[in-house]
Structure formats: structure tokens, C-alpha cells
Amino acid sequence: MTPRTYILVFQENLESSTDEMKLFADALDEGERLFRFDYNVAFLQSAKDVEALTQRLRSSPLNKTFFFIADITDASRAGNMVPAFWDILHYRDKLTAA
């Protein structure tokens, strides 16, 4: 299954929850990638659907944190960001082309 790109937005500033975010990142499945953009925003590449990812967040150390997740795989995007940011967004395109 082709990975999808999701944006995760957390209500709280997770600066004080770095350990919880690291535990969540360490528990990613093979082939999944996480790019933490800020203390409350992250991008995730995963073949799982929104419902499965929501369940994973609810059963993770971040379960007490309010969050929003959206599939942005096919969304238009542009901006001035660091290369690592674009790498995760274009990762799916590279897989599709291979």
C-alpha cells in the first residue's frame, strides 16, 4: 500500500512532552516517517488510514493530548521550508515513481 502524508496538530505545546513524542516516534512501523515541525505540529507518512492512526495516538503516551489529524497527500503545497520538510512530503512521490 502506498504511504499517505498526514499533518498532526496537537492542541498543547509538546515542548514539555518531548519524551512522549519520542516514544510515539520510536513506535512507528517500518516504512513510516515522522517529521516534527514544531512543538505542536508534525507530518507523518504512513500506509495506515486516519482511523488506525487515531487509535494509535489514543493508545500512545500522547493519549491525554488533544490532536487533529488530516490526510494531505493530494493537497497542493508550496512554501519556503528546510529540505528535510520537503523530503518527507516528496517521499511518496519517489515511491510511486519507482
Range of the structural domain that residue 35 is part of: 4-97
Sign of CA dihedral 27, 30, 36, 40: negative
Measured CA to CA, the distance from residue 47 to residue 44 in angstroms comes to 10
From residue 36, alpha-carbon distances to 2, 6, 88 in Å are: 21, 12, 11
pTM score? 0.72
| pLDDT reported for residue 47 | 93
The number of folded domains in the chain is: 1
Return the CATH number at 55. 3.30.70
Per-chain mean pLDDT for the chain: 77
Q: Of 19 and 40, which is predicted with more confidence?
A: 40
